[in-house]
Structure 1
Amino acid sequence: MKILLVEDEPQVASFIKKGFEHEGYELTVGYDGSTGWSLYQQQPYDLVILDVNLPHLNGVELCRLIRAGRHRVPVLMLTALDSLADKEAGFEAGADDYLAKPFAFRELLLRARALTKRYAETGAPQLLRLADLELNLDSKIVTRAGRRIDLTTREYSLLEHLLLNQGRIVSRVDIAERVWEVDFDTTTNIIDVYIGYLRKKIDKGFEPKLIHTVVGMGYVMREQ
């Protein structure tokens, strides 16, 4: 199993590296967030362990970058900050587990094994992706470029339907039946209104635009 550890304290990094290598794991160390991101992009890892307080790019930001990518991997965060707000920030960035310093190596090892086992048994969280847009079907969390986007229940259902059919033109009738679960009323523009809401949240300020209108036919989600 290959592990990426991003930890700026050499003594802590050495302690963790020796422990995992003693257990037969292969572990690569990055001593700052930028280096960690570069290492992550070079090869696939079975587990990523991130310190929160890192130079250049902190652990929360690095976790968001990882979650915005197409390769899924369990992420365990280490920190001296043990407040609920700090943990919430880590989990919202996409971390799977959180361990406060100081810790016993045995606990870190057990958590690492539990995470990798869970991913091996159930796979990564079910995700719908297009470009840098990601919808997590398990947590119902939507992000774009690593930034969380808050949607209403109806907006979420509409986006999920469009992503499930990405690359295909979806008619207003289909949206009405699948998302609203009602017969389509040709006198209402409610679907167009909600498409407008979605565009403001997931396309405004981002490139490329993902929601496209096909005149006279409906809508399609695609990168171009």
Structure 2
Amino acid sequence: MRILLVEDDIDTRTYVSSGLRAKGHAVDESGDGQDGLLRACEHDYDVIVLDRMLPALDGMSVLKKLRSCGTQARVLMLTALGDVDARIDGMEAGADDYLGKPFALSELIARLNAISRRSAHANTMTLLRLGDLELDLIMQRVFRAGKQIHLQPREWDLLKYFALHAGEIITRSMLLEHVWGFQSSPHTNLVDTHVCRLRGKIERDFGPRIIRTVRGEGYTLSLKQGH
């Protein structure tokens, strides 16, 4: 993987970068948020390891700017703020995973491998069609009625999970586990917020709604008229 490491603490940066390079990864380093943002915009990275507390521009601001400009790189946030609310804030801003400090290098590498696999082609299927909805599973592109729809990485993960389980009832707990990696269900509207954003992109200006709310249970992706 090509990885950008944005971390202002020199000891942590050296520890992480050395460990990643030892595993065969290409690593670029940055010590502040502004420089990290410029590097992320100028180069294509598979994963960005982003500290939350940074000089010049904090990690949350970097993340929001990256997502607003459509950067497709996966983002793993590092922070000393390990509570659930802080993690949820990071996830809602577009992070793919969250790791609290202090951490073991082995866990960081395992998490990087996990979020990288979400982008990889996992099976022999390359194209998924559901009515006028089409997902290119290799290029991670989405079309509806022949028009391309630009999604953020988390929105792509969410839509792909819905599409692969079309017609099934998907609970919020299932989405938290399989899309966000939560092993428990914190009190949050994280799922509802992302489903709302996804609906806005794949249903606005198109035909009938395809992601239906199943009252008291969750959601389902259906080709029938939704409500």
Give the TM-score taking structure 2 as reference length: 0.59
CA 1:107–1:137 in 2, change beyond 3 Å: closer, same or farther? closer
Give the conservation status (yes or no) of the 8 Å contact 1:76–1:95.
Answer: yes
In 1, Cα distance between equivalents of 2:118 and 2:46? 12
In 1, Cα distance between equivalents of 2:38 and 2:32? 10
Give 1:97-116 correspondences, 5 Å limit: 97-116=97-116
TM-fit CA distance, 1:129? 3.0
Give the conservation status (yes or no) of the 8 Å contact 1:6–1:50.
Answer: yes
Give the conservation status (yes or no) of the 8 Å contact 1:128–1:163.
Answer: no
Deviations 1:73-122 (A, max 9, x none): 11101001111111011000111111111011111111111111221136
In 2, Cα distance between equivalents of 1:79 and 1:125? 31
2:120 alignment counterpart = 120
Q: Are positions 1:129 and 2:171 aligned together? A: no
2:91 alignment counterpart = 91
CA 1:163–1:64 in 2, change beyond 3 Å: closer, same or farther? farther
TM-fit CA distance, 1:27? 0.5
- SS of structure 1 residue aligned to 2:102: coil
- SS of structure 1 residue aligned to 2:50: strand
RMSD (CA atoms): 3.2
Give 1:11-30 correspondences, 5 Å limit: 11-30=11-30
Segment drifting more, 62-71 vs 104-113? 62-71
1:53 alignment counterpart = 53
In 2, Cα distance between equivalents of 1:152 and 1:2? 30
Overall identity of the aligned pairs, in %: 31
Give the conservation status (yes or no) of the 8 Å contact 1:79–1:99.
Answer: yes
- SS of structure 1 residue aligned to 2:92: helix
Segment drifting more, 99-108 vs 70-79? 70-79
Give the conservation status (yes or no) of the 8 Å contact 1:33–1:56.
Answer: yes
Give the conservation status (yes or no) of the 8 Å contact 1:125–1:136.
Answer: no
Write the letter of the residue equivalent to 1:109: I
Larger radius of gyration: 1
- SS of structure 2 residue aligned to 1:27: strand
Deviations 1:138-159 (A, max 9, x none): 548xxxxxxxxx6996x97565
Count how many residue pairs are aligned between Structure 1 and Structure 2: 156
Give the TM-score taking structure 1 as reference length: 0.60
TM-fit CA distance, 1:137? 5.8
Q: Are positions 1:8 and 2:29 aligned together? A: no
Give 1:64-75 correspondences, 5 Å limit: 64-75=64-75
Deviations 1:49-91 (A, max 9, x none): 0000011211111111121223311110100111111101100
CA 1:138–1:85 in 2, change beyond 3 Å: closer, same or farther? same
TM-fit CA distance, 1:23? 1.0
2:202 alignment counterpart = 160
Write the letter of the residue equivalent to 2:203: H
Q: Are positions 1:35 and 2:56 aligned together? A: no
CA 1:161–1:21 in 2, change beyond 3 Å: closer, same or farther? same
- SS of structure 2 residue aligned to 1:91: helix
Write the letter of the residue equivalent to 2:202: E
CA 1:163–1:62 in 2, change beyond 3 Å: closer, same or farther? farther
Unaligned runs of 5+ in 1: 141-149, 165-174, 181-224
